[in-house]
A and B are shown apart, each in its own frame.
Chain A
Amino acid sequence: MPINFDHVFYTYSKKTPFEQVGLEDINLSFNDYKFIALVGHTGSGKSTLVQHITGLLLPDKGVVHVDDYVITPKKKENKNIKKIRENVGLVFQFPEYQLFEDTVLKDVAFGPKNFGVSEKETIERAKSAILKVGLDESYFERSPFDLSGGEKRRVAIAGIIAIKPKVLILDEPTAGLDPQGSKKMMQLFCEINKNGTQIIMVTHDMDLVLEYADHVLVMKDGKVAKESSPLDLFSSSDYKELSLDYPCVFAVATELIKKGMKIDLTKIKNLDTLVEEIKKGRDSYE
């Protein structure tokens, strides 16, 4: 779905002593990418940016286009904002704190019900979303408050998936999950992505960026500091200047390259592809 930012500015606590720049002259177009990673330090403006896409924050200046909808600084002009939220699902950081219903099924059904989906379809969608996030039927009637942290997270994500948005925005979706849980969650997002949902993911994990994203956006002090493919970001020295971490698999690969092994960085996305390249590199020795 076309998402465009046109000279967007936003300031927090305007005209108070706590005034702080949120976004400064953001120009962006997300049309051509399927899986966008949004990275940068705490306070760099990542969350402020995604909240503009769903109209949770209105720009001070500039315009955000989401599909046919336009988000402008004037409150009165933004009447269609509910429609945008039906198409753009935003999973906040630590969404488990937002659960509120007395059963898991009801909590997940809240979204579609709120957007006017029929009772029958709402339940079907909720059930299928719960199964999709890796919880089984025994969870339907349980209270979301008795679940563990990771399970709650899954319920919260199911709640957004049940709305069937065209764009899914995830704010650090795997933070605090166990490694296996993170992996399953990423597989789920990949599947949703393959079925045509565009994904925008805020993350600090550079290995995830390298493996999944086809485009990466680095934010710094409310501005876009760099926009490129993950490969470009990590194969130039830019990542260092932006003080980002380096993906573990690249760290191994570059050490091997330093020692003279022939390795093609462009082929490396994860552990499996790293091992493939090491194999090839060693074969060329002999």
Chain B
Amino acid sequence: MSVLSVKNLTFGYEKDKPVLKNISFQIEQGKYIALIGHNGSGKSTLAKLIAGLLELQSGTIEVFGELLTDKNISVLRQKIGIVFQNPDNQFIGATVRDDIAFGLENNCVPHKEMDAIINEFAEKVNMTDFLDKEPTRLSGGQKQRVAIAGVLAMNPKIIIFDEATAMLDPKGKKEIREYILKMKKEDESLTIISITHDIEEAYNSDEVLVLNNGEIFLKGTPEEVFKDKNKLKEIDLDLPFLMKLKDKLSDCDIDVKDVKNLEELVNKLCQ
């Protein structure tokens, strides 16, 4: 089932300068989608339009088959959660508990139920011990985990991660990435859209969407998208490390075309 259907979407912040140009695509339920492309290619704009944070100018967005309009935006928005890049910009509460509660309060969840929900999701992201701590005393990774708990507590069906790990150190990045995979395992119907510059992450996703200059440049499984390396080079997009290495070796007439991972590559080279 398609959870998200975007048709002929055009959007610009200034007149005659479209950031997105006539974009159409569909996303199936339960998929892990990597949205890649250069800085300025329109990725975040697209995410904000899907999450209903920007007003549509032309084109349509359907969420679970329902057309996104001014009237139903607040209802449909509950199905979509978004985690932004900067952990410091998404804190509202004075404590971790208050912060997770914020979304619930907005949705008029009765106070009696709220505590249980907060505890449940704090536990899921492993932040139970921090519930009464001030957000400023947390590390970047911990802050992003709280942001994720806040989003999860709203029970969304689609979660957009807008470079959610870009500001974290390698340990924080790993933490969040592992957490996303765990989340996905627990609820297979959850759809994830990850805006990322991490080519290795994109390589391990279900489907890759490449944006360039506000247009969809490529779309398909990672194998399909990264197979077309000349096309990716055309727009100066990076390749996964293994592919770059394979490429360079092929240039030197060393045949490693068929290897699929590092181990196979090493074995092949040492034959």
13 A-B pairs with CB atoms under 8 Å apart are A41-B171, A94-B167, A150-B40, A175-B167, A176-B85, A179-B199, A179-B237, A179-B238, A180-B236, A204-B170, A279-B254, A282-B254, A282-B269
**A19 contacts chain B at the CB level, 8 A cutoff:** no
Question: Is A245 an interface residue, CB under 8 A from the partner?
Answer: yes
B197 at the interface (CB under 8 A from A): yes
Q: Does A255 contact B (CB under 8 A)?
A: yes
Q: Which of B53-61, B151-159, B245-253 contacts A (4 or more CB under 8 A)?
A: B245-253
Q: How far is it, in angstroms, between the C-alpha of A206 and the C-alpha of B9 when the chains are bound? A: 40
The residues in B between 164 and 204 inclusive whose CB is less than 8 angstroms from any CB of A are 166-167, 169-172, 197, 199
- The residue among A148, A204, A245 with the most chain B CB atoms within 10 A of its own CB is A148
Q: Assuming the A-B contacts A148-B39, A245-B170, are A255 and B262 also in contact, with contact meaning beta carbons closer than 8 angstroms in the complex?
A: yes
Q: Which residues of B contact A (CB under 8 A)?
A: 13-14, 37-40, 44, 85-86, 137, 139-140, 163, 166-167, 169-172, 197, 199, 236-238, 241, 244-245, 248-249, 252, 254, 262-263, 265-267, 269-270
Q: Collect the chain B residues with CB atoms within 8 Å of residue A68's CB.
A: none
Query: Are the CB atoms of B238 and A148 closer together than 8 Å?
Result: no
Q: Is the CB of A204 within 8 A of B38?
A: no
Cα distance A261–B270 when bound, in Å? 7
Residue contact A150 to B266, C-beta cutoff 8 Å: no
User: What's the least CB distance linking B173 to chain A, in Å?
Assistant: 9
Q: Which of A42, A148, A149 contacts B140 (CB 8 A)?
A: A42
Q: Are A43 and B237 in contact (CB under 8 A)?
A: no
- In angstroms, Cα B172 to Cα A196, docked, is 35
Residue of B14, B197, B248 near A179 (CB, 8 A) is B197
Interface contact B172-A42, CB-CB below 8 Å: yes
What is the distance, in angstroms, from B95's C-beta to the closest C-beta of chain A? 16
Closest Cβ of chain A to B13, distance in Å, is: 7
- In the complex, what residues of A have CB within 8 A of residue B199's CB? 179
Interface presence of A260 (CB below 8 A)? yes
* A-chain residues with CB within 8 Å of residue B86 when the two chains form the complex: 94
Within 8 Å CB of B266, what residues of A?
Answer: 252, 255-256, 259
Please report the C-alpha to C-alpha distance between residue A150 and residue B37 in the assembled complex, in whole angstroms: 12
Q: Are B252 and A176 in contact (CB under 8 A)?
A: no
Establish whether residues B248 and A275, one from each chain, have CB atoms under 8 Å apart when the complex forms. yes
Contact of A278 with B by CB under 8 A: yes
**Which residue on A lies nearest to B237, using beta carbons?**
A180
Q: Which residues of B contact A148 (CB under 8 A)?
A: 39-40
Q: Across the interface, do B163 and A176 meet the contact criterion of CB distance under 8 Å?
A: yes
Residues of A within 8 A of B197 (CB): 176-179
Q: How far is the CA of A94 from the CA of B266 in the complex (A)?
A: 38
Question: A41 vs B141: C-alpha distance in the bound complex, in angstroms?
Answer: 12
A190 close to B (CB within 8 Å): no
Give Cα distance in the complex from A177 to B85, angstroms. Answer: 12
Whether, in the assembled complex, A146 has its beta carbon less than 8 Å from a beta carbon of chain B, the answer is yes
**Which residues of A have CB within 8 Å of B238?**
178-180, 183
Q: With contacts A149-B39, A180-B236, A278-B269 known, is A271 near B169, CB below 8 A?
A: no
- Any B CB within 8 A of the CB of A248: yes
Question: Known contacts A146-B13, A178-B197; is A275 also within 8 Å of B39 by CB?
Answer: no
Please tell me which one of the listed residues B13, B38, B263 contacts residue A150 in the complex, with CB atoms under 8 A apart. B38
**Which 7 pairs across A and B sit closest by C-beta, in order of nearness?**
A150-B39, A148-B40, A179-B238, A176-B166, A259-B270, A180-B236, A275-B248
